[in-house]
Amino acid sequence: MEVAATMKFARMSASKGRQVAAMIQGLSANEAMKLTEFKGRKASALIGKTLKSAIANAENNAKIASDTLRVKEAVVNGGPRMKRSWPRARGSASPILKRTCHVRIILTDGAK
């Protein structure tokens, strides 16, 4: 059975999130939690929150034990960008893009 969790509009760029998502893909849920806890990146903290949510969904909604779960898929897609500007010389401005992303984690227990 598959269980999913999604975090939308996370304040990090999708490319930085994809690096951490690629590391946890295919691992057991417990190993992935350890990896996200001790990896010193902002993306790992946000992906760890989503992973905890997916594990809680599996335990409470689907009644699956957390020690049998594996990360089937971890996807980080780009979200909308907040457009700001930075003042420059002679009245001009430089653009600033504050990027967001959507994190989706799918866990499976291996049973069909």
At residue 112 the predicted structure's pLDDT band, cuts being 50, 70 and 90, is low
Rounded CA-CA distance 92/102 in Å is 33
Per the structure, the count of domains in the chain is 1
> Residue 48 pLDDT > 70, yes or no?
yes
- Residues 111 and 68 sit within 8 Å (Cβ to Cβ): no
Q: Return the percentage of the chain with pLDDT > 90, whole number.
A: 92
Mean pLDDT for the chain?
94
At residue 100 the predicted structure's pLDDT band, cuts being 50, 70 and 90, is very high
- DSSP state string for 28-53: BHHHHHHHHHHS-SHHHHHHHHHHHH
102: containing domain: 2-108
Quick one: tokens of 54?
A: 């997916």
Indicate the pTM of the whole model. 0.89
Could you tell me the CATH number of the domain that includes residue 67? Answer: 3.90.470.10
